[in-house]
Structure formats: C-alpha cells, structure tokens
Structure 1
Amino acid sequence: MDIKDIRSHFPILDQQVNGRDLVYLDSAATSQKPQSVIDTISTYYREYNSNVHRGVHTLGTKATDGYEGARDKVKKFIGAKSTEEIIFTRGATTALNIVAQSYGLTNVKAGDEIVITYMEHHANVIPWQQVAKVTGATLKYIPLQEDGTISLQDVEETVTENTKIVSVMQVSNVLGTINPVKEIAAIAHKYGAIMVVDGAQSTPHMKIDVQDIDCDFFAFSGHKMCGPTGIGVLYGKKALLENMEPVEFGGEMIDFVGLQESTWKELPWKFEAGTPIIAGAIGLGAAIDFLEQIGLDNIEKHEHKLAQYALEQLSKVDGMSIYGPQHRAGLVTFNIDDVHPHDVATVLDAEGIAVRAGHHCAQPLMKWLKVSATARASFYLYNTEEEVDKLVAGLIKTKEYFGNV
C-alpha cells in the first residue's frame, strides 16, 4: 500500500486543526470519505437526482440503476447468495433493530434465551433487552476472558437448547477483539438458534463472507467504510427474511393496498418503506469500489501493523492502562492514571489529534473493565506510524500538563 497515494484521495486530511496538521484517529466512530465517494454523491444530485422504481423517465431509470447496482455491489462484497438478501437501512443500528423487532418478537417466547456478550455496542444490547422484556425471555451474557476475548468453551456453556438467538459483534469497538463468529455460529446452530453478527467494526477492515460465517443475519454501516452517513445494510438468509413481517409500512414496500388489507412486495423491497436512501446507497457503492481497488487484505495487514506498533509505543509510556488482547483489530483503547479520558482527548485536540473519549456506547463493557470511560485511538487505511508517534508525544505532553510524570 502506498499510504501517501491513499491519503491524497481524502481531502479532509489535508488541513490543520488548532495550528497543527490533522491526525485523525477516530475512524471507528466514522471514517473519512475519499474524493471518489464525494464526487459520486455530488454527481447523483447534480445530474440524475430522481426517485427510484416508480418512474419510466430517463433520470428515474438512471437513479434506479445506480441504487440497485449498489445493492449488487454489496451482495458481492459480503458474499451473499442473492440481492434479495440485501436490505438497505439507515445503519447497523436500524438493521439490528429490524431483526429484533421482526424476527425476535415473533420467534421468542417466555422461557427462551437470547445470548450476547459483555462487549456489545448498545445497538446490539438494547434491542435484545426490549425483546426480552416484551416476550419474557432471558437475556444471557457470554463471559469474557481476562484479556477481553471469548472462549468457545464459555459459548458452549452459555448457549442451551432454550437459546433462540445468539447476537455477537465480529470486532469490538472498544477492545479491538476479533471474535470467532464462524465458530460461534456453528454452536448456535447446533442448539437450533440463529446467529446475528454485528459487522459494523469488521466490514470496513477485513474480507467478509457471510456464507462462510454461516450467520443468519449480518449488519453493518456505510459511514465507517468510506461511505456516507445514513446508509447501512442488513443481510439476512432469504428463507428467514421471507417469513418475517416488515417493521415499517408505506410506499415502495407494498404490492396491493385495499381499504382493510394490504400485501407486500417481494424481497428486498418489503423492508424498504418510503423513498429509499438513494444517494447513500450509490455513495456506498462507490466506497466499495474504492476499498476493493486497494484490497481488503492489504487494509487489514496495514491496520494490524499499526495497532501492534501503537501497542509497543504506548506500553513504553508510564502510567498507561491499555485494554484488550494483544492480537486485535486496528484500534487501541487506554487510560492515563489520574487523568479523565475527556481531558486526554481535549489536550490531544489542541495538538491536532482527534481521538474518542467516553464509554463508546458500551457501558456494560465499561462496568466489566471497572472504569467509567476510556480514550480510544482507531486507525484506518490512511493512518501512518508517524501519526502514532504524534499520538504518543501528545499523551506524554498530556501527562506533563496534568503533573502526571
């Protein structure tokens, strides 16, 4: 990978923040966008802005081709069997809520179990809490090992014949843990449960093959993978989606509407009520083109190298607590002794360095870590070792500023 060339595609990186060159280390929250994605969205609005599916005029046809063409790109990108299995949503959160509301509320009853982990993002916790409350099911948690990883033995001991749903993130947005979702899916299926994977933090950074994982549902967001905000994807096995009811109703998703009854369109459109996220989908398609041109394997190797370099350099700084396993995805979460992470992030921002501070929408994990908040530096294809060095220098300056030397 030619990082200098890659960075040249991201105009936002060529600026100064607080008089310093921007060091953007918050891609786990949202990634930056290459010029090709920005141009693709601009071209849609400038040249063929129109609604899809409804009109036979030229602009409508071109917009429909762009929208459905993006669906086909997503299908190939994650290894789905059919475009019927690809539903465009507002993001991974919406996708997970669709599974919970449409599949969960229908297929879970009192006495059943839903199994997740302590490391889940709130988007993969709260929907299942709500399903458990409504149905009387039990929400269970797979315990974590001391380093923040999952033991398959613990999965075996947590999942039972009463388990109906297992829902696990593929990569932790706090610990960087890469979970063995394929093996967890096999255990879930052995007990007759379905497997839901939150792929928000994995899809931008590694090759995904939903058929190889054999998950039943897979959710991810476009804005974390060089695409626009407001677009996400729910993948679901066709047989399951066909038997699920929509959770939103209105135009686009209907076949016939009578005075008292209505029928739905076929997949995937029955889950896409109203005017769809046209520009977002077309932008996501452009992001996929960009990532595939670079190569997901190359991106994963680059980020792994950065994460290991960051771990090595940060471990040399006294008074640092670093969370998560040694082998991890491209992020490092940490605290400085006696300095609140928000203060850490504020001082770093003065140095032009953008990191995330807070509970990262993972309060159950914060409780497990016995902290209220952490700071997080997350890397992507455009980050460099020199930026890691600036992060370390900024943290040393933070320690000095707060008298923690």
Structure 2
Amino acid sequence: MTVATDTRALDVLADFPAIPEGWAYLDTAATAQKPKPVLDVIARAYGETYATVHRGVYQRSADMTLAYEAARRRVADFIGAASPDECVFVRGATEGINLVAQCWAGTQLRAGDRILLSALEHHSNIVPWQMVAERIGAHIDVVPLTDDQCIDLDAMAAMLTDQHKLVALAHVSNVLGSVLDVKRAAQLAHGVGAKILIDGCQAVPRMAVDVRDLDCDFYVFSGHKLYGPTGIGVLWARGDLLDAMPPYQGGGSMIDRVTFEKTSYAPPPGRFEAGTPHIVGALGLHAAIDYVAEIGLDRIHAHETALVAQAREALSQINSVRLYGPEDSAGIVSFSIQGVHPHDIGTILDEEQVAIRAGHHCAQPLMDLLDIPATARASFGVYNNAADVAALVRGIERVTRIFG
C-alpha cells in the first residue's frame, strides 16, 4: 500500500540523534525522543556549569539559580500562567496529581463529597483520587464516553451535583487521542462549585495551552513527553489555591524557619519543592519548550494530524484492523487486529524496525469498557513523516499474513 507524502511535513529528523535511519519511532505518547538542543543544554549543565541552586553565595551557584528560575518563567509563559510562582516543579504529571490529591483534596474534601473522573483516564488520574477517597470517605463517579470515544460532556452536565468538589480529566487521551473541550468542562465544574484538574501530558507537546483561557484550576504535564528530560514536570495551580495548600513533603528549601518547637514554610512554589531539585531537568525542559516553540505548536499539531489521517486511512483498508478513537485524534492511533494479541503485533513490527506501544497503556478501566485486554498504539511526534506511516502499514500487512 502506498502512503502519499505530505510535502508540507516537518523535516527535523536530523535533530534527533537517537533515531537511526530506517527506524520508525512511533511511541512518542509514552516518551518523546530528545533533540540536540536539549541534549546540548543537559551536557553543558552537567559538564561545565553545574552547581546547586538557592543556597550557594558563589557565582556559579548564583548563575545556576538564575537559570533554574528562568526555566520556571519560561514554563509560565508557555502555558499562560499569571505568575511563575504558580508553577511547581515536580518529577512528572503523576507527582503533580498526587500533590493535588494529598495537599488540596486531602485537606478540603469531606466524607460524602464526590470526585468526578472519566472512563478514559490514565491510572495516574485515577489511583491518587481513589487513595484520597478511601481515606476520607468520598465517592468517585465516572463520566462515560460518546460514540466516537470522547468524554461525554453532556453526560457530565447531567451527573454533576453540588456534592462534587473536584473534576479531574485528561486534555488528550493517551489511548484514543480524543481532545477534551476543557473550557466547557471547566464551566460545568465551576457551575456546581467544583474545582477542575486537567492532565495535559498528551496536549502540551502538540497544541497551544493557555491555562487562564481554559479556566481550569490545576494543570499538570511531564517534561519527557515534551521532548525534554525525564524526572521533571510541572504542576500549575491558581495562586490562591497554592497559598492555601500545606506542603507535600518536608525537608530543605521548602522552609521559612525551622525550630524543634515549630517550623514555618516558604511561600509557593518553594513550599512544594523539598530537597535539591532536578536542576538540570528544569534547564532541559526550558530548552525543550524553546525547541517546540520555535517550530510552532500550531504547525506541530497540523503535522501530527496529517500523519494520523494518513495512518487511519491506510489502516481502515485492512479488513482485520479495528481502529479506536475519533477520526481527528491528536497524534495517536490505537488499533487491534482480529485474532492477534497486541504484544505479537508489537514484536513483529519491531522486527520491521517500527516501534509502537502494545498493552493497556495504564488505562485498564478503558480497556474493560472497550471489552479488550489491550491495544496496539502508534503515536507521532515532530520527527515522524509519511515514510514512518508506510513502514507501519507494511508491518501490519506482514502481521496479517503471518496470522492468516
């Protein structure tokens, strides 16, 4: 099968040294490869300019502190935050959600209160709320999906009550690629007095995000899905919410003054960043944001949308393939092949130099809803092109031949 080449596609593959010629990396939704500018910043920070932050009075430490806080300002600008102090550096979105679960929900919710999630959430946006709900006696409700496998906001509107204190939803599904209308979801949540948290892991790398325009209360994302390093992520929250939240962990940096009788805490974001932070991770995240901003998020989204359309069109012509998610999914195509386990699909594709994800994608409740154990998932990034789609299709055709 021939897949047409989009002459408008991005041509940045040379920026990614970890992608050798002939290897189709289609697992960006799990983690993105890193461009040279990010690798260079990381290497320089560890190899030439490394020092701790917020503590040293010597010049290199002061310079590194400036660079670290410049990364926070870059994050704030990137997501439209009102202030850098609203941006807390965490290990990733998972830690950001857990922080909100423990420090906001764990202190604000009471027995009988309700939390609203959706059927397509990642485990990281389910389990922390279950832990809190079990501890305090709150209840969890689940919004169903529409026929095209998007979060059903009409159903959400009908389900919400004044007992709901928190809504937590994915901006873009990591399995289906479906995109949430965050502004409407926020309006619905706020209409009953609930706060809303958005998991932006799959959205931030491929579309412009303005947290104030979206009108959410919390927003989280991970750096490694944004072409940055692992171990760094961001929790954004409204300033008044952060001010009212107790610390997540105790230790150095997050304090104002410590005595054995009583400890007072630093204002946000320092209050939530106990211990020596992932300094170089923050610098790498800064470089990654600069990289995608230079390309342009609108251009990235258009590029990935075109690849998704090509992949879905080609795969839809193979009778044994079942596609999941909406036609306009954002950068992600999940599928199954009749009679073939997704792990076998992934293994055979690997032999064809095509890397995909196979499994439940940390979304077992969604798999149960779809009545399948797992899916195969191809996810695209800035470095992919029509040749990668063609390689995917050839590999799947080989799978169907092998399994008859």
Q: Same fold (TM over 0.5)?
A: yes
* Percent of pairs with identical residues: 47
Counterpart for residue 267 of structure 2: 266
Report whether the alignment pairs 1:216 with 2:208.
no
Counterpart for residue 171 of structure 1: 172
Counterpart for residue 13 of structure 2: 7
Instruction: Note if contact 1:219-1:232 (Cα within 8 Å) is conserved in structure 2.
Output: yes
SS of equivalent residue, structure 1 residue 276: coil
1:115-152 CA-partner distances (Å, limit 9, x unpaired): 00010000000001111101111100011112211232
Counterpart for residue 107 of structure 1: 108
Cα distance in 1, alignment partners of residues 343 and 353 from structure 2: 15
Report whether the alignment pairs 1:183 with 2:184.
yes
SS of equivalent residue, structure 2 residue 18: helix
Q: Which amino acid aligns with 1:250?
A: G
1:338-378 CA-partner distances (Å, limit 9, x unpaired): 00000000000001000000000000000000000110000
1:164-217 CA-partner distances (Å, limit 9, x unpaired): 000000000001100111100011001000010000010001000000011100
SS of equivalent residue, structure 2 residue 224: coil
Equivalence map 1:31-50=2 (5 Å): 31-50=32-51
Counterpart for residue 61 of structure 1: 62
Instruction: Note if contact 2:172-2:180 (Cα within 8 Å) is conserved in structure 1.
Output: yes
Instruction: Note if contact 1:141-1:158 (Cα within 8 Å) is conserved in structure 2.
Output: no
Consecutive unaligned residues of structure 1, counting only runs of 5 or more, are 16-20
1:277-319 CA-partner distances (Å, limit 9, x unpaired): 1000000000001010000000011111111111100001110
Cα distance in 1, alignment partners of residues 382 and 118 from structure 2: 28
1:28-55 CA-partner distances (Å, limit 9, x unpaired): 0000000000000000011111110001
**CA RMSD after TM alignment:** 1.0
Instruction: Note if contact 2:164-2:194 (Cα within 8 Å) is conserved in structure 1.
Output: yes
Consecutive unaligned residues of structure 2, counting only runs of 5 or more, are 1-6
Q: Which amino acid aligns with 2:212?
A: Q
Q: Which amino acid aligns with 2:190?
A: H
Cα distance in 2, alignment partners of residues 25 and 152 from structure 1: 30
Cα distance in 2, alignment partners of residues 302 and 392 from structure 1: 18
Counterpart for residue 3 of structure 2: none
Cα distance in 1, alignment partners of residues 167 and 10 from structure 2: 42
Instruction: Note if contact 2:87-2:237 (Cα within 8 Å) is conserved in structure 1.
Output: yes
Instruction: Note if contact 1:250-1:273 (Cα within 8 Å) is conserved in structure 2.
Output: yes
Equivalence map 1:17-166=2 (5 Å): 21-166=22-167
Counterpart for residue 18 of structure 1: none
CA shift for structure 1 position 222: 0.2
CA shift for structure 1 position 274: 0.1
Instruction: Note if contact 2:68-2:279 (Cα within 8 Å) is conserved in structure 1.
Output: yes
Counterpart for residue 197 of structure 1: 198
SS of equivalent residue, structure 1 residue 275: coil
Instruction: Note if contact 1:3-1:382 (Cα within 8 Å) is conserved in structure 2.
Output: no
Counterpart for residue 379 of structure 1: 380
TM-score, normalised to structure 2, is 0.97
Cα distance in 2, alignment partners of residues 364 and 147 from structure 1: 17
Report whether the alignment pairs 1:228 with 2:229.
yes
Residues paired across the two proteins, number = 398
CA shift for structure 1 position 4: 6.4
CA shift for structure 1 position 3: 5.1
TM-score, normalised to structure 1, is 0.97
